[in-house]
Amino acid sequence: MPESTQKEILSLVLPDEASTESLGKRLAEAVLKHSKEITDRGLNIRLQGTLGAGKTTLTRALLRALGFSGRVRSPTFTLVETYSVQGLAINHFDFYRFESPEEFEEAGFRDLFGAGRLTLCEGTHPLCEWPDKAEPFLPPADLLIHIDLKGDGREAKLCPENEWGGIVAKEVEESWQ
């Protein structure tokens, strides 16, 4: 993919909770389609948006669409919730309660990133920024998903950080039509 398209942002209007869940489902379809790439190199997705934006709703829908039928809890208090589904290790982080970025290293979270793993990291910072909660220790994201409040609904912006994130965003874009 040419450099110029890598940073292209895909904006999606999400008027209700069902549309946030639909985005999660489409991400799950992209994950399944590219499961070999995830086995080889992992996929890091950063979910950014204020409290109540829908980051956990999106993750829950993604897990459901992958076939996980158990309870999907918000990791706000536990920092990470771990799932095993479709041969993938899925780690859902929420760094909201971090008091210092060093906690990322101290908790050994780095070992939960990489080949065979899909990670979803929640944060509260604006698009393409992630200044203090876990930086500089957090491995770089492949895809940022920023969720903004918009009236009673939401707007999601998918911002690929590299070619791999761009492939996943493209899958979502094509299935969203």
Strands 10-14 and 43-48: unpaired
CB under 5 A: which stretch of 4-12, 30-38, 70-78, 106-114 binds Mg ion?
A: 70-78
Work out how close the CB of 56 gets to Mg ion at its nearest, in angstroms, rounded to a whole number: 3
Letter for the amino acid at 128?
A: C
| Residue 164 C-beta: closest distance to ligand ADP, Å | 24
CB of 33 or CB of 150, closer to ligand ADP: 150
Contact call for residue 56 and Mg ion (CB under 5 A): yes
Q: Which does 48 bind (CB under 5 to 8 A by kind): Mg ion, ligand ADP, none?
A: none
Answer yes or no: are the C-beta atoms of 150 and 13 closer than 8 Å: yes
Q: Which is nearer to ligand ADP, 23 or 167 (CB)?
A: 23
Q: Which two tokens stand for residue 80?
A: 């990470």
Residues that bind ligand ADP in the complex, under the rule CB under 6 A: 14, 16-17, 19-20, 49, 51-57, 74, 122, 152-154
Residue 71 burial (C-beta neighbours within 10 Å; 0-12, 13-18, 19+): exposed
Measured from the CB atom, the residue of 57 and 119 that comes closer to ligand ADP is 57
| Beta strands across the sheet bearing 117-123 | 10-14, 153-160, 143-150, 43-48, 117-123, 88-94, 80-85
d(Cα 139, Cα 119) in Å, to the nearest integer?
10
Stretch that binds Mg ion, among 20-28, 29-37, 72-80, 159-167 (CB under 5 A): 72-80
Task: Provide the minimum distance between the beta carbon of 153 and ligand ADP in the complex, in angstroms, as a whole number.
Answer: 4
Task: Record the tokens describing residue 157, joined without a space.
Answer: 């912006």
Q: Which residues bind Mg ion (CB under 5 A)?
A: 55-56, 74
